[in-house]
């Protein structure tokens, strides 16, 4: 089994050079995932002049390349919650935005002749617990009031009985890696520029332009979009307005016919299922076991639990790929999309709650409308300056208190841990070397990798993730390699080394 996303492993994604010059642009998009590439392509279609995409690593290396590939307006228990917390109109506009996102993906795939295995299928939200049937009744009714077609059923094509399920018909699943490749090619064919391995180091507004700097180049643009999972640094305070969530997935080959449908449980731990076009045709993508990034959860145990459940539920021929993904969840369940507060030409799209394919595509449409001065009926619901309802405020306060406790108490607890006398190959953690408390990982060749395990974003202590061999921050979700390079922001700088 390969520890790699099936989508990046089986897509012929194009490669691009890094930025090593100073250039001008009408729009610079930071982030080469579905939000960034869709926005860039729509900008070229809307008559923008020079449009540039900057990607810190390679296209699809972030969350888009690690999704389950579900393109659906069914987002768990969402519509009943939104109706109750934000009102019927907010739920309706959220539904319309995500249905429009789904439709736009289908439209672009057809328009650009992108061969991305796009397939129509029903989607089920289910429970095994009869006591939770009322939750699904409320969700189906709220979805219907929001303009979506939802029905309550008890029969599915899953290999187990459910107590109840909400069925959305005519949803979509696809190969996100192949779709990204198609978007990138269409964008470049339209005159767009893409630069990979070009992590943004700084950005600011001056003289009516946004100035963006990378390690070896810079861009001056009329407008800039931060489509980077979470905006880098302290921008807009979004790091305090959303929490990071990680989840896990397998691509498996079955010895039996795979279900045609997509599905998601409301029971915990969560289980997400969709068919996958494996080499023999009978494949599944299984996801679940989400938790906050960098908490005390044993990431390896999350994989093992999901693998065990999959083997017990399906006739598995082989486990082909395994990977994890990260996203951010706002405290009122709605992403932030639009102009960054207190900025004139800087835009953001973040907080997709693991539903970034439809939400992210809708976000691209909203950003283009806002830049061009067109009104958009969904924009108010996704407004970046909103405070949220009372429940959101309370949850945000609790999360930030926890982060503050981690910032102060985490350092103390780390310093009080007993030193590890030796790390075996493949092990990592907090150790003492010559009396100095450091973060260390010994690779399988025996080489020791040592860093200061303190996040360069706001100084929170880091936790070793043995399943991904990474240093993770539970405060705001930054992640680093064993050598300290940034994997995920909002941190912009690599970890310090003991000799720094």
What is d(CA 89, CA 482) in angstroms, rounded to the nearest whole number?
47
pLDDT at 446: 85
In a domain, 440, yes or no: yes
User: pLDDT tens digits for 31-50?
Assistant: 999 999 999 999 999 999 99
What is d(CA 50, CA 197) in angstroms, rounded to the nearest whole number?
20
What is d(CA 245, CA 474) in angstroms, rounded to the nearest whole number?
9
For residue 221, how many other CB atoms are within 10 A of its CB?
23
Helices 176-189 and 88-111: crossing angle in degrees, nearest 10, is 70
Question: The sheet that has 486-488: what strands, in order across it?
Answer: 462-465, 470-473, 479-481, 486-488
Q: What tokens appear for 218 in the block?
A: 């810079």
User: Mean pLDDT throughout 460-488?
Assistant: 90
Mean per-residue pLDDT of the chain:
92
pLDDT at 26: 98
> pLDDT > 90: what percent of the chain?
78
What is d(CA 103, CA 284) in angstroms, rounded to the nearest whole number?
24
**pTM > 0.95:** no
Sign of the CA dihedral with 155 first, then 158, 163, and 167 last: negative
Q: Assess whether 321 and 338 both reside in one domain.
A: no
pLDDT at 362: 98
User: Mean pLDDT throughout 461-488?
Assistant: 90
Q: Find the helix or strand (DSSP H, E) in which 83 lies.
A: helix 79-86
In a domain, 221, yes or no: yes
Sign of the CA dihedral with 175 first, then 176, 178, and 183 last: positive
Sequence-ordered list of residues with C-beta below 8 angstroms from that of 9, at least 6 positions apart, any chain = 2, 321
How far is CA 306 from each of CA 235, 264, 268, 311, 466, rounded to the nearest angstrom? 36, 14, 12, 9, 17
Q: Assess whether 363 and 403 both reside in one domain.
A: no
In a domain, 293, yes or no: yes
Pick the last residue of a domain from 367, 388, 409: 388
User: pLDDT tens digits for 387-418?
Assistant: 876 676 666 666 555 555 555 555 444 433 43
Q: Assess whether 353 and 228 both reside in one domain.
A: yes
The beta-strand segments (E) located in 62-140 are: 70-71, 119-127
Q: Which of 280, 247, 245 is nearest to 5 (CA)?
A: 247
pLDDT at 395: 66
In a domain, 137, yes or no: no
User: Mean pLDDT throughout 252-273?
Assistant: 96
What is d(CA 187, CA 196) in angstroms, rounded to the nearest whole number?
15
In a domain, 384, yes or no: yes
Q: Assess whether 473 and 439 both reside in one domain.
A: yes
Q: Assess whether 216 and 352 both reside in one domain.
A: yes
Q: Which of 165, 102, 121 is nearest to 139 (CA)?
A: 165
User: pLDDT tens digits for 59-118?
Assistant: 999 999 999 999 999 999 999 999 999 999 999 999 999 999 999 999 999 999 999 999
Into how many domains does the chain fold?
3
Is residue 325 a contact partner of residue 354, using CB atoms and an 8 Å limit? yes
In a domain, 251, yes or no: yes
Is 90 exceeded by the pLDDT of residue 234? no
Pick the last residue of a domain from 388, 412, 427: 388
Q: Assess whether 320 and 443 both reside in one domain.
A: no
Task: Write a three-state SS string for 388-420.
Answer: CCHHHHHHHHHHHHHHHHHHHHHHHHHHHCCCC
Q: What tokens appear for 256 in the block?
A: 């039996």
Q: Assess whether 283 and 300 both reside in one domain.
A: yes
Q: What is the CATH number for 22?
A: 3.50.50.60
Burial zone of 499 (CB within 10 Å; 0-12 exposed, 13-18 middle, 19+ buried): exposed
Q: Assess whether 264 and 288 both reside in one domain.
A: yes
Alpha-helical (H) ranges within 117-174 are: 133-145
Domain range for residue 457? Answer: 395-488
pLDDT at 414: 43
Sign of the CA dihedral with 374 first, then 87, 236, and 76 last: negative
Q: Assess whether 367 and 400 both reside in one domain.
A: no
Q: What is the CATH number for 478?
A: 2.102.10.10
Is 90 exceeded by the pLDDT of residue 171? yes
Q: Which residues of 345-370 are buried (b: 16+ CB within 10 A; e: fewer)?
A: bbbbbbbbbbbbbbbbbbbbbbbbbb
Pick the last residue of a domain from 364, 388, 412: 388
In a domain, 441, yes or no: yes
Q: Assess whether 216 and 340 both reside in one domain.
A: yes
Q: What is the DSSP string of 39-68?
A: HHHHHHHTT-S-EEEE-SS-TT-SSGGGS-
Q: Assess whether 48 and 188 both reside in one domain.
A: yes
Give me the residues paired with residue 124 across strands: 167, 263
Is residue 441 a contact partner of residue 368, using CB atoms and an 8 Å limit? no
Q: Assess whether 482 and 368 both reside in one domain.
A: no
Q: Find the helix or strand (DSSP H, E) in which 29 lies.
A: strand 22-30
In a domain, 168, yes or no: no
Is 50 exceeded by the pLDDT of residue 420? no
Q: What is the CATH number for 284?
A: 3.30.9.10
């Amino acid at each position: 089994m390969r520890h790699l996303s099936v989508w990046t492993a089986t897509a012929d994604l194009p490669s691009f050079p890094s930025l090593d010059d100073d250039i001008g642009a009408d729009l610079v998009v930071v982030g080469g995932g579905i939000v960034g590439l869709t926005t860039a392509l729509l900008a070229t279609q809307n008559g923008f002049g020079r449009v540039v995409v900057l990607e810190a690593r390679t296209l699809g290396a972030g969350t888009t390349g690690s999704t389950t590939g579900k393109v659906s307006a069914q987002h768990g228990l969402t519509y009943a919650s939104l109706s109750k917390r934000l009102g019927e109109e907010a739920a309706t506009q959220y539904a319309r935005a995500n249905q429009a996102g789904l439709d736009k993906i289908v439209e672009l795939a057809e328009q650009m002749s992108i061969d991305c295995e796009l397939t129509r299928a029903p989607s089920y939200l289910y429970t095994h617990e009869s006591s939770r049937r009322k939750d699904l009744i409320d969700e189906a009714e709220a979805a219907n009031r929001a303009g979506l077609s939802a029905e309550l059923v008890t029969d599915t094509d899953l290999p187990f009985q459910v107590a109840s399920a909400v069925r959305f018909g005519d949803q979509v699943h696809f190969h996100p890696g192949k779709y990204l490749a198609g978007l990138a090619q269409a964008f470049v064919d339209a005159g767009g520029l893409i630069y990979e391995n070009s992590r943004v180091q700084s950005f600011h507004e001056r003289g009516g332009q946004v100035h963006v700097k990378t390690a070896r180049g810079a861009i001056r643009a009329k407008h800039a979009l931060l489509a980077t999972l979470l905006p880098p640094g302290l921008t807009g305070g979004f790091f305090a307005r959303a929490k990071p969530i990680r989840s896990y997935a397998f691509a498996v080959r079955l010895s039996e016919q795979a279900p045609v449908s997509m599905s998601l449980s409301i029971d915990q731990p969560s289980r997400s299922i969709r068919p996958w076009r494996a080499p023999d045709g009978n494949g599944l993508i299984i996801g679940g076991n989400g938790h906050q990034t960098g908490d005390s959860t044993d990431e390896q145990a999350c994989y093992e639990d999901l693998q065990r459940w999959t083997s017990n539920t399906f006739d598995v021929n082989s486990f082909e790929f395994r990977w994890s993904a990260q996203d951010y969840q706002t405290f009122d369940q709605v992403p932030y999309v639009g102009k960054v507060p207190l900025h004139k030409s800087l835009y953001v799209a973040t907080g997709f709650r693991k539903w970034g394919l439809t939400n992210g595509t809708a976000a691209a449409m909203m950003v283009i409308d806002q830049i061009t001065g067109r009104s958009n009926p969904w924009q108010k619901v996704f407004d970046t300056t909103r405070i949220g309802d009372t429940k959101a405020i309370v949850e945000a306060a609790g999360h930030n208190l926890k982060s503050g406790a981690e910032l102060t108490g985490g350092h103390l607890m780390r310093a009080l841990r007993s030193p590890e006398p030796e790390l075996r190959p493949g092990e990592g953690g907090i150790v003492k070397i010559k009396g100095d408390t450091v973060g260390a990982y010994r690779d399988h060749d025996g080489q020791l990798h040592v860093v200061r395990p303190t996040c360069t974003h706001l100084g929170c202590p880091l936790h070793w993730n043995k399943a991904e061999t990474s240093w993770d921050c539970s405060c705001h979700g930054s992640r680093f390699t064993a050598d300290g390079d940034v994997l995920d922001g909002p941190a912009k700088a690599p970890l310090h080394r003991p000799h720094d």
